[in-house]
Amino acid sequence: MKPATEPATLTSATFEDLVHEMLVRLGEDPAREGLTATPERVHKAMKFLTKGYQEDPEALLKGALFTVNYDEMVIVKDIEVFSLCEHHMLPFFGKVHVAYIPNGRVIGLSKIPRLIELFSRRLQIQERLTTQIAETIQKVIEPQGVGVVIEARHLCMMMRGVEKQHSAAVTSSMLGSFRNEEETRSEFLSLIHQRPNGI
């Protein structure tokens, strides 16, 4: 029989056990006042920050589709995004701009930020996040086209590695008319870079 003080094996360890072990390996004392509740807090935080794994993006959008006779560009811009980089599990954050041209159906406007949150609450890379948002909208409502641009800062670059404090990554995914028609793409990019009071 194992001694009561022996650490739990990986398969039987709780999330809290693993955080406790990490603190020990970092050279900390998990019993000191500031850290006694840290394993539970980290577990709760990580469950929240990765809750997107338990959500269905297509079901989210299908619950708010409306038939309309409108075929001009719909843009929702400057949507705040926070996610965790899958390489270092450090945050990246920024803004997402989404546009689409309806083809008989539109999405309830609040569902676009919800879709972004759903995908961002997973371990991510910015490039995949960008394409997941665009491809899901394209698949569910089959618009004439979809454009998504993300501008984000990554703490894995700012706090470690190259330690560049003011660098930002910009990614885009253009589908349908946004890919095929330069005028459509240019209109989208122009509109998302207008100042808020210039809309």
Q: Is 166 a catalytic residue?
A: no
Catalytic residue, candidates 21, 28, 88, 187: 88
Active-site annotation holds for 156? yes
Give yes or no: 86 in active site.
Answer: yes
Task: Indicate which residue of 87, 142, 193, 194 is catalytic.
Answer: 87
The structure tokens listed for 178 are 């946004």
Q: The tokens 């450090």 sit on which residue?
A: 90
CA distance 80 to 26: 33
Q: Are 150 and 94 in contact (CB under 8 A)?
A: yes
Catalytic site residue 88?
yes
Of the residues 21, 156, 181, 187, which is catalytic? 156
In angstroms, the first-to-last Cα distance of the chain is 70
- Residue 141 half-sphere exposure, CB side, CA atoms within 13 Å? 31
87 is catalytic: yes
Tokens 């997107």 sit at which residue? Answer: 52
Separation CA 125–CA 133 (nearest Å): 13
State yes or no: is 138 an active-site residue: no
Residue with the two structure tokens 């959500």: 55
Catalytic residue among 124, 138, 151, 154: 154
From the candidates 86, 127, 142, 193, give the one annotated as an active-site residue: 86
Q: What is the phi/psi pair of residue 22, to 5°?
A: -60, -45
85 included as an active-site residue: yes
Catalytic residue, chosen from 20, 97, 126, 151, is: 126
**DSSP string covering 122-135, please?**
SEE-HHHHHHHHHH
Catalytic residue list: 85-88, 126, 154, 156
